[in-house]
Amino acid sequence: MFLSSISHNNDLTTTTTTTTVIPVLCKRRLVSFLLFSIHTILLILLFTPTTTATPTTQSREAITISRSSFREDFRSFSSIIHSHSTISTTTTTVNLTPSQKLDQLRTLMKQYSIWAYIIPSSDSHMSEYVASSDQRRAFISGFDGSAGTALVTLDGALLWTDGRYWQQAQNQLDFRYWKLMKDGVDVSITTWLSLNVIGNESVGLDPFLYSVNQFKELQNTHVNIKLIYQNLVDLIWTSRPSPPNGKIFELDLKFSGRSASDKFFSIRKSMQSSKVAIYIVTALDEIAWFLNLRGDDIEYNTVFFSYLIVTMKNVYLFVDEKKFENSNLSLHLESLGVIIQPYSSYLDSLIDLINTLRQNQTLTTFIDPQFCNYATFSSIQSLSIIKTGNSFIRLEKAYKNEIEREGFKNCHLRDGAAVVRYLAWLEDALVHQKLDINEYEGAQRLEKFRAQGEYFLRPSFETISCYGENAAIIHYSPNVKVHSQISTSNVYLLDSGGQYLDGTTDMTRTVHFGIPNAHIKRSFTRVLQGHIALSSLIFPEGLSGDKMDAFARQALWSDGLNYNHGSGHGVGHCLDVHEGPHGIGVPVFGFMKTYDVTIEPGYYEEGNFGIRIENLYLVKESQTPHRFNNKTYLEFEQITFCPIQPSLIDTSLMSEKEIEWVNEYNRQVREKLEPLISQDTLAVNYLKRNTVSIAKEPNFAKTTLVVVLVMMGLILVVSIVTNIVLIIARKRQSSARPLTNTEIQPLSEELE
């Protein structure tokens, strides 16, 4: 468009005869106008919704849809979005500008009679990380962080995201068209809507992409909500990738530690005690864990697109059966009582199942409102009593059995060895070979080291490989086009992890390949002190993560510093790298024995550097001398092993106990990792140099004060001694002097 305009201007400037220019320009403008008109008409015809897809204006109380209409909408929606069979991609790819995307979306919004349209980050399973075909918010806004919600109105566009992504959003949003709304600083999206929606203006959304909790929160704004089952972004996203079609495989019992049948029995006991007849599972990691299956439909995760319905007799799995690695897997599932049905038939089958089971009786269905999409809820709310709460599977999955815990320990050793080999290679390339290595090349090399480890599948998330000021962008990830060179004059932050058959890893190290300045060392030490304080905590079972959070931040607070993210999260076993229900900084759920959690305080100075130190810990019972009120106390068991760089530590700020913690940790790192990297001389030397013991350095300010006080004391002592000597000398001199006649008095006179 822009180049075309320049070309026309060049024609004007090079033409000298005005009489010939005007007719030519008029013809060109006429042709352009006709082409534009035809294009507009085609767009209108293409995007005009059918009568079944266009919802009528409705109040909040009248949002529910008749079943026949709902099923028709769902089939249409499934064929466009949720079907995971091969989709034809013959449509010509059009690279729309940010303004063109918004213009086309607003055209559709007017046709659907809505003033605003909400575009969340999630898919229909409320996944944190989504497949490329579900990245609608990234497409419409240009911001591709994993968390955020876009709101497009007829006259504006806003994006909400949390503190992890503020700087990234600043870099990626086109502020000619978008406004950044910072979670926790600016008003929430629900508050904004309640303040800005006027009269009967409607807000549209895709009910498959909104959880029950999110929808109910939106209802509290008292704005008119219109459910639109045809996703509007998909209509303008002509280059949308095809849905993934990854293979599903069984996770062997030697890795899972529990059979699927054992899990079935346990979950049905929970259903029975809760008096639940039907249990709907929509979260992908829960389905994978429950069935001991893994897939690769979402990059970096080991999940597959599916829905699950559990009754007291059967388990219904809605999935594309072509995804199974082999036919034996289908037979294995059938032997467990699993009935396999097409993914696209999920909602119809759910409705039929409820109608079959209830038989004029009261039927209770259980959902987790945090993960169940509103389309599911609205389709069954008139057919069954719906009980909500934390998913039975989610709660049980958080407890790691002995096999899983052992797997975590083993894969973290291999992972730590890979990171040490990579850092040793990187240091040698930068310092000794003087090579130019960028952040993306570094991330690719790290993956090669990891891939050499046993049971490795893939990275557990996109590697955060960032140097200098990029490290201040909390979730910055380089790519082949956007990256910076790594150097020796600033810090290098590496946050990475791997998916292994025996576990999932997540580790962050901040290193410096040169000489760090005092400010960086002080900041690093404060972060380290926070990590030590929290990892050393002994606490009562059931303590929630929000009550632990201050331990990770206290040292930073003492310098007036802080960070805008949580201090830790659970990690799945060969599953999602972020796992609930617990977390550090999250008030919802208390910590229990056999959970796992990361500890990851940090500090980020925009435009300068970023620091984070992250390890994964297992939660175990602590052998305390007392058990007040017969309460169990817990502690953290270290399972991540990779050096904490001694040259970045300002030991003058640390207590003897903290120094002892660092020395013991690095001693264990050296002891555990050296046998795994013994064939790599470069890595062994790096390991030894970066696990040397540290000792407390004197505080120069205090030392100077002590010296001054000692000198003053010495001067005072010398002065006192000198005065005493002079007094004694004078007395001796006085006593040795002979008396004159006038000084001698007769004894009789003295007596008088």
State the pLDDT at residue 703: 64
Same-domain pairing of 381 and 359: yes
Same-domain pairing of 406 and 515: yes
Tell me how far apart the alpha carbons of residues 619 and 627 are, in angstroms, rounded to a whole number.
Answer: 17
Q: Which residues contact 734 (CB under 8 A, 6 or more apart)?
A: none
**63-67, 268-272, 368-372, 550-554: lowest mean pLDDT where?**
63-67
In a domain, 147, yes or no: yes
In a domain, 212, yes or no: yes
Asked if 163 and 147 count as a contact pair (C-beta separation under 8 A), the reply is: no
State the pLDDT at residue 587: 73
Greater confidence (46 vs 522) lies with: 522
Residue 350's H or E segment, with its range, is helix 346-358
State the pLDDT at residue 361: 82
Dihedrals φ, ψ of 228, to 5°? -120, 110
Over residues 1-20, the mean pLDDT reads 33
Tell me how far apart the alpha carbons of residues 308 and 279 are, in angstroms, rounded to a whole number.
Answer: 8
Same-domain pairing of 363 and 412: no
pLDDT band at 337 (very low <50, low <70, confident <90, very high): very high
Over residues 9-15, the mean pLDDT reads 33
- Rounded to the nearest integer, the mean pLDDT of the chain is 87
State the pLDDT at residue 94: 61
State the pLDDT at residue 95: 83
Structure token digits, residue 115: 């003033």
State the pLDDT at residue 433: 98
Tell me how far apart the alpha carbons of residues 389 and 365 are, in angstroms, rounded to a whole number.
Answer: 11
Reduced to 3 states (helix: H, G, I; strand: E, B; else coil), residue 570 is strand
pLDDT in tens, 225-262: 999 999 999 999 999 999 999 999 999 999 999 999 99
Over residues 730-739, the mean pLDDT reads 64
Asked if 400 and 502 count as a contact pair (C-beta separation under 8 A), the reply is: no
In a domain, 219, yes or no: yes
In a domain, 347, yes or no: yes
Asked if 148 and 135 count as a contact pair (C-beta separation under 8 A), the reply is: no
Over residues 617-635, the mean pLDDT reads 96
pLDDT in tens, 421-430: 999 999 999 9
State the pLDDT at residue 662: 99
The residue behind tokens 């068209």 is 177
Reduced to 3 states (helix: H, G, I; strand: E, B; else coil), residue 178 is coil
In a domain, 639, yes or no: no
Residue ending a domain, among 622, 643, 677, is: 622
Q: Tell me the chain's radius of gyration from C-alpha atoms.
A: 35
User: Which residue in 513, 466, 497, 506 sits closest to 611, CA to CA?
Assistant: 466
Same-domain pairing of 60 and 163: yes
Q: At CB < 8 A and 24+ separation, what contacts does 91-98 make?
A: 91/238, 91/239, 92/238, 93/238, 93/239, 94/238, 94/239, 95/239, 96/236, 97/1, 98/142, 98/174, 98/176, 98/177, 98/178
Structure token digits, residue 172: 């990626």
Same-domain pairing of 211 and 278: no
**Amino acid occupying residue 530:** G
State the pLDDT at residue 50: 38
Same-domain pairing of 482 and 609: yes
CATH number at residue 228: 3.40.350.10
pLDDT in tens, 66-112: 333 333 444 343 443 333 333 333 333 468 999 999 999 999 999 99
Asked if 292 and 135 count as a contact pair (C-beta separation under 8 A), the reply is: no
pLDDT band at 456 (very low <50, low <70, confident <90, very high): very high
Residue ending a domain, among 398, 430, 452, is: 398
Residue 708 has pLDDT above 80, yes or no: no
- How do beta strands 202-205 and 224-227 pair? parallel
- Sequence-ordered strand ranges (E) for 435-531: 456-459, 464-467, 491-496, 498-500, 503-504, 507-512
Residue 436 CA, distance from chain mean position: 30
Burial of 322 (0-12, 13-18, 19+ CB in 10 A): exposed
Over residues 493-504, the mean pLDDT reads 99
Structure token digits, residue 662: 């660092």
pLDDT band at 707 (very low <50, low <70, confident <90, very high): confident
In a domain, 740, yes or no: no
In a domain, 260, yes or no: yes
Same-domain pairing of 214 and 116: yes
Reduced to 3 states (helix: H, G, I; strand: E, B; else coil), residue 263 is helix
Same-domain pairing of 259 and 316: yes
Alpha helices, DSSP H, located in 148-259: 166-172, 189-196, 212-219, 232-236, 253-256
pLDDT in tens, 35-70: 444 444 444 444 444 333 333 333 333 333 333 333
In a domain, 429, yes or no: yes
Over residues 28-32, the mean pLDDT reads 41
pLDDT band at 735 (very low <50, low <70, confident <90, very high): low
Residues facing 466 on adjacent strands: 493
pLDDT band at 711 (very low <50, low <70, confident <90, very high): confident
Same-domain pairing of 268 and 381: yes
pLDDT band at 269 (very low <50, low <70, confident <90, very high): very high
**8-17, 304-313, 595-604, 670-679: lowest mean pLDDT where?**
8-17
Total number of domains constituting the chain: 5
Same-domain pairing of 270 and 383: yes
Residue ending a domain, among 607, 622, 637, is: 622
Asked if 455 and 501 count as a contact pair (C-beta separation under 8 A), the reply is: yes
Residue 15 has pLDDT above 70, yes or no: no
Reduced to 3 states (helix: H, G, I; strand: E, B; else coil), residue 306 is coil
**486-495, 561-570, 582-591: lowest mean pLDDT where?**
582-591
Domain that holds residue 105: 52-86+93-236
Same-domain pairing of 335 and 224: no
Direct distance between the N- and C-terminal alpha carbons of the chain, in angstroms, rounded to an integer: 131
**Amino acid occupying residue 179:** K
Asked if 203 and 225 count as a contact pair (C-beta separation under 8 A), the reply is: yes
Q: Which residues contact 134 (CB under 8 A, 6 or more apart)?
A: 122, 123, 127
Asked if 319 and 245 count as a contact pair (C-beta separation under 8 A), the reply is: no
**What's the number of CA atoms in the CB half-sphere (13 Å) around residue 749?**
5
CATH number at residue 591: 3.90.230.10
Tell me how far apart the alpha carbons of residues 456 and 438 are, in angstroms, rounded to a whole number.
Answer: 25
Over residues 160-181, the mean pLDDT reads 94
State the pLDDT at residue 43: 45
Over residues 650-657, the mean pLDDT reads 98
State the pLDDT at residue 366: 99
State the pLDDT at residue 716: 86
pLDDT in tens, 394-412: 999 999 999 999 999 999 9
Same-domain pairing of 157 and 173: yes
Greater confidence (300 vs 28) lies with: 300
